[in-house]
Amino acid sequence: MTDPPHDPTLADYRASVRDWLAATDIPSVPLDLDHRFEVLKAWQGTLYDAGWVGISWSRESGGQGLTPLHQLVFSEELARARAPMPIGLIGLDVVGPSIDTYASSEQRARLLPPLLSGDEMWCQGFSEPNAGSDLASLRTTAKIDGDRFVVNGQKVWTSWAHKARWCALLARTDSDAPKHRGISYIAVDMATPGVSVRPLVQMTGDSEFCEVFFDDVEVPRGNLIGDLNAGWTIAQDTLSHERGSYTLRRMVEYDVAVEEAFAEIRRHRSAGGTVAPRTLEQLGRAYVSVRGLEAQTRKTMARKVRGEVPSPYDSVDKLSLNEVEQRVYSSISDLLGPFRLTPHDPSAGLDSARWVKDHYYSRAVSIYGGTSQVQRNIIADRLLELPRG
């Protein structure tokens, strides 16, 4: 793994990222899910070897020891070079930081290096069929039996579970405790007997989300992350990373998406095609919404630099993300009209197949990572201090 210059300025760092990307073969991302996974996994290995993974992680944990601002610069340049993100973002942005904070030194030494390199993928075993919006009501149990846990239960909406080596599992270890207590955070090897995965076909045609079943799964007690029955605190840390870091990355991708839509329309007009005034008006609305999200993410970055995470403001980030993603992709998809059903006959120069798929995927954003309704409740309760009910 290559080390970049120690504590470079943001301008120097941006220049080094651009130079590297200009000299690197950037992979094209196939539509087929399995092929896409393999391409992006190899891409993560390339980024890791060149020193572009774990940018804001500490050097002791295998990262580069730089700031969240350096990570944002890298994400911006990656998106603007039309280069894909690494595949292991659940590990890099969501689960990994919590493991780094709460795991033992032995656990960090075992789990973090292959997480960073992409050799071992992670999934997040939080949501259940009856415990999604109300996560603390989860029913999956992990009963202590000597030096092991015996896990039984079901998880759902578990992204990449069918490709993951590890699952960051929330399970109830004390059934008599109040629901926010008695929950533990356990690393489960997905190859353990009794773990079964069933991919779910999404409206995009992909099967990225999965159901995961645990039937008498024996997990060593040494896989417990943090203290027994202290999983809720770690889960809140994980969710804060999911809502904050993910918002930062996605904001850059929305910006590029709007730029690409404008570019497709400009090429269409240059070739003699016509574009209705409504088209530019629609894209203008999308552009303004992205600029609003950008202003919000700058505040988020300032909080991350000050170490003010997790925070109820993470819910403001997630709610803003939900609304902007759906507005951007629905605005572009609406321009296609009936042509959204004929991907080989684009409207106004827009690539129907690409934009319709992005639009379909965006419908899930207000559910995964915490529904919009839950985020509004958190904002009302913890920020506005409105009365419950």
Show the tokens assigned to 389.
């009910």
Asked whether the beta carbons of 39 and 271 are under 8 A apart, the reply is: no
Give CA–CA dist 48/46, Å, rounded: 5
Query: Which residues fall within 8 angstroms of residue 93, CB to CB, at 6 or more apart?
Result: 241, 242, 245, 246, 249
Give CA–CA dist 360/202, Å, rounded: 9
3-state secondary structure of 152: strand
Of 77, 120, 128, 242, the active-site residue reads 242
The strand pairing partners of 148, in sequence order, are 145, 220
Give CA–CA dist 200/158, Å, rounded: 10
Reply yes or no on whether 208 is catalytic.
no
Show the tokens assigned to 307.
């170490």
Query: Which residues fall within 8 angstroms of residue 52, CB to CB, at 6 or more apart?
Result: 17, 20, 74
3-state secondary structure of 124: strand
Active site residues per annotation: 242
